[in-house]
Amino acid sequence: MCTAATYKTKDFYFGRTLDYEFSYGDQIVITPRNYAFNFRHVGDMKNHYAIIGMAHVAEDYPLYYDAMNEKGVAMAGLNFVGNAVYAAIKPDVENIAQFEFIPWILSQCSSLVEVRELLERINIVNTPFSEQLPLAQLHWIISDENESTTVESMSDGLHIYDNPVGVLTNNPPFPQQMFQPK
* 109 given a catalytic annotation: no
Distances (CA, A) of 182 to 14, 81, 134, 162, 179: 30, 28, 41, 22, 10
Give dist(CA 100, CA 21) in Å, integer: 25
> Residues 1, 2, 10, 104: which is the catalytic one?
2
List b or e across 55-70, with b for residues whose CB sees 16 or more CB atoms inside 10 angstroms: bbeeeebbbbbbbbbe
CA atoms within 13 A on the CB side of 77: 21
Residue 114 · residue 146 · CB < 8 Å: no
The sheet that has 12-16: what strands, in order across it? Answer: 12-16, 3-8, 167-169
Alpha carbon distances (Å) from 40 to 43, 69, 166, 172: 6, 21, 31, 30
Active site residues: 2
